[in-house]
Structure 1
Amino acid sequence: MKKSLPYLVAFSAILALGACGNDDSNDNGGDDAGGDEPQFMNLLTGGTGGTYYPLGGEIANILGDATDTTIDAQSSNASADNLMSLSDDNAEIAFTQTDVMSNAIDGINAFEGEAIDNISAIGSLYPETIQIVTTAGSGIETIEDLEGKAISVGAPGSGTYLNAEQILDVAGLTMDDINAQHLSFDESTSGLQDGNIDAAFITAGTPTGAVEGLSATNDIAIVSMTDEQVNSLVDEFPFYAPFTIESGTYAGLDSEVNTVAVYAMLAVTNNLSEDLVYEMTKALYERTDEMSHEKSNEILLETAQEGIGFDIHPGAQRFFDEQ
């Protein structure tokens, strides 16, 4: 049947209005709840040998179920790169470290001149331990012993790299004093196994899968920091906390290791609505019993704001205020 001209004009107008309505996804705060409610989201984690990746898969399932969205957990170069991706709207949710988030907002270190102002926190997850892993018999017993050696300092853009810089500094060393290798956790442990590197900085929840795998085939050692080094680091950077890796954490580790830790956390883009982030936060802290990863036992409401000295997303803050 042939349509009349007025019918076609009206129909075209309806289509145009509909198209305008769909543009809300590009509007930071397009709805009354303060942002978007996408049907698909990306959650950036870290390398496959660390803690972020397997835990991120479980968190993605729980958050997706709670919000009726599809959330894809993706491997990445971790903390700093994750925040850059959030800022560029290439993802909606990301793992990072509290220290790296602080640097991003302040525009310092890896973010020099590039302060990020369109992201905020959901909350802290668990302590992340800085581990300086080597093989038994390497001759590396102190941080100072790293001088002149081939050392993995983490994937480019990772929080591990920043931790390595700061820890080397308290021992009077810089990146120029070592043969720095920019490797992922899996590449680091493979390099130690093959003798291609002498030690590796690994910042992750303990026990870390990549280190467990190494300890199953090689005798390992983890370098201890002195009390003076720990105190100096904590005084200068309050996001660090003293941490002890207990004897027996890894096969063959028969003594305690003194080191420091930061907190792993989840960050989100500010585009997401208050209601959506509220539901995500509620699920994250109330449904940890549905996760099998051992680090889920450390995701606690009581420590959800630990190490966070920057903006928390309004949806997450509403959940915390209700508690």
Structure 2
Amino acid sequence: MRINRRSMLLGGLGTALAASPTLAQDITFFRIATGGTAGTYFPIGGLIANAISNPPGSRTCADGGSCGVPGLVATAVASNGSVANVSAIAGGSAQSGFTQSDVAYWAFNASGIYEGRPKVDVLRAIANLYPETFHLVARKGAGIKTVKDLAGKRVSLDEPGSGTLVDARLILAAYGLTEKDLKAEYLKSQQAADKLKDNALDAFFSVSGWPLGAIAELAATTGIDLVPIDGPEAESLVKVYSFFAIDEIPEGAYKGTAGVKTVSVNAIWATSSKQPDQLIYGITAALWNPSTRKLLDSGHSKGKVIKLETATQGLGIPLHAGAEKFYKEKGLIK
């Protein structure tokens, strides 16, 4: 009997599937919308996607338990940031995404930047990940020591669709400024860093877990000043907008750059209420698996502050039912 190559391949696959039921199971694809590749969302998203994925025939943890969600293939996808990610979740083009706690709150309640627009009432939280720190980065020699010094300067407020742009406007307003008082530009962090390095920009806002790669490179090669966002203006900002918190960038976070007082919001991993409860329960459990802890601790400096004990704090939106079940079992919520 003549056996061709295709028959052999198909036969081999059939044998493998029969021998290993896990290879025959359905594959579930799960996108995590993140941010620009130069920011913190993207690498953190990659670590989490790796941790929760467990396609057929994949690994087991060192302790013998299964890593990730069986049959799940998760991918971190670059995006324009928080606002764009909320839209992607609402529209179904992404199964989940990272968003700032303020943007999530406004979207869910149709307030703030979403006032007059339909509520994104399908938005649900999987976990609070880490504080997102406001960086106001100035070119050395630009004469910018306070937020008020931005008047008349060439300043990037981040790209349209990003949560950074929204909050940069709030910060300016707290100090009595608007973007009309600046020579405003709207660039991604990496583009802004490149222009600042070329002396074509004086300062830029960026919201990210520190250290941010684009800023670290500037600090090491060009030299920068971090501008504080503090004083009565910052205290008023936190009082009016409860999703803000007082924060700081410590000494040594960036080479040769003094630490500063600033403000922050939380980075939230969000999904849609339409995602199956069992799936989100499994993803939440995989996020807090001990093997994921090792990945987060070794994969990125901000990964170390992603902790189970703070997972349900400062969310701004309801938990997904699947995540809520997990946290109730762990005693984090009643």
- Per the shorter chain, which TM-score range? 0.7 to 0.9
**CA deviation map 1:181-225 (0-9, x unaligned):** 111111111111012211000100011111011112111001112
Give the letter for the 2:208 counterpart. Answer: A
User: Is the CA contact 1:285–1:299 (under 8 Å) kept in the aligned structure 2?
Assistant: no
User: d(CA) in 2 for partners of 1:310 and 1:48?
Assistant: 26
Specify whether residues 38 and 241 from structure 1 end up closer, same or farther in structure 2 by C-alpha distance, changes over 3 A only. farther
Q: For residue 83 of structure 2, what is the aligned residue in structure 1?
A: 80
- Mapping for residues 63-142 of structure 1, pairs under 5 Å: 63-65=52-54, 66-67=68-69, 68-112=71-115, 113-142=117-146
Structure 2: gaps spanning 5 or more residues: 1-25, 55-67
2:151 is aligned with 1:144: no
User: Is the CA contact 2:104–2:123 (under 8 Å) kept in the aligned structure 1?
Assistant: no
Give the letter for the 2:274 counterpart. Answer: N
RMSD value, Cα: 1.4
Give the letter for the 1:116 counterpart. Answer: V
Q: 1:274 aligns with which of 269, 273, 277?
A: 277
2:322 is aligned with 1:319: no
Give the letter for the 1:213 counterpart. Answer: E
Specify whether residues 160 and 38 from structure 1 end up closer, same or farther in structure 2 by C-alpha distance, changes over 3 A only. farther
Give the letter for the 2:294 counterpart. Answer: D
The two structures have a TM-score, normalised by structure 1, of: 0.86
**CA deviation map 1:14-44 (0-9, x unaligned):** xxxxxxxxxxxxxxxxxxxxxxx97112111
Q: For residue 295 of structure 2, what is the aligned residue in structure 1?
A: 290
User: d(CA) in 1 for partners of 2:154 and 2:322?
Assistant: 45
2:53 is aligned with 1:53: no
Q: 1:144 offset after TM fit, Å?
A: 0.7
Give the letter for the 1:295 counterpart. Answer: K
User: d(CA) in 2 for partners of 1:290 and 1:53?
Assistant: 15
- Mapping for residues 163-242 of structure 1, pairs under 5 Å: 163-242=167-246
Q: 2:265 aligns with which of 262, 266, 280?
A: 262
User: d(CA) in 1 for partners of 2:264 and 2:27?
Assistant: 34
User: Is the CA contact 1:56–1:73 (under 8 Å) kept in the aligned structure 2?
Assistant: yes
Residue 263 of structure 1 aligns to a residue whose secondary structure is strand
User: d(CA) in 1 for partners of 2:30 and 2:310?
Assistant: 26
Structure 1: gaps spanning 5 or more residues: 1-36
User: d(CA) in 1 for partners of 2:304 and 2:49?
Assistant: 17
Q: 1:290 offset after TM fit, Å?
A: 2.3
Q: For residue 314 of structure 2, what is the aligned residue in structure 1?
A: 307
Residue 61 of structure 1 aligns to a residue whose secondary structure is helix
Give the letter for the 1:76 counterpart. Answer: S
User: d(CA) in 2 for partners of 1:285 and 1:188?
Assistant: 35
User: d(CA) in 1 for partners of 2:32 and 2:229?
Assistant: 34
User: Is the CA contact 1:263–1:306 (under 8 Å) kept in the aligned structure 2?
Assistant: no
Residue 221 of structure 2 aligns to a residue whose secondary structure is coil
Q: 1:227 offset after TM fit, Å?
A: 2.1
User: Is the CA contact 2:109–2:121 (under 8 Å) kept in the aligned structure 1?
Assistant: no
Residue 128 of structure 1 aligns to a residue whose secondary structure is strand
User: Is the CA contact 1:80–1:110 (under 8 Å) kept in the aligned structure 2?
Assistant: no
Residue 267 of structure 2 aligns to a residue whose secondary structure is strand
User: d(CA) in 2 for partners of 1:249 and 1:199?
Assistant: 18
**CA deviation map 1:109-145 (0-9, x unaligned):** 3323132111211010011100100121110111111
User: Is the CA contact 1:43–1:56 (under 8 Å) kept in the aligned structure 2?
Assistant: yes
Q: 1:71 offset after TM fit, Å?
A: 1.5
Residue 96 of structure 1 aligns to a residue whose secondary structure is strand
Give the letter for the 2:293 counterpart. Answer: T
Give the letter for the 2:36 counterpart. Answer: G
With 76-85 and 219-228 compared, the bigger mean Cα shift is at 219-228
User: d(CA) in 2 for partners of 1:116 and 1:224?
Assistant: 34
Q: For residue 31 of structure 2, what is the aligned residue in structure 1?
A: 42
User: d(CA) in 1 for partners of 2:104 and 2:27?
Assistant: 24
The two structures have a TM-score, normalised by structure 2, of: 0.83
**Percent of counterpart pairs with the same letter?**
37
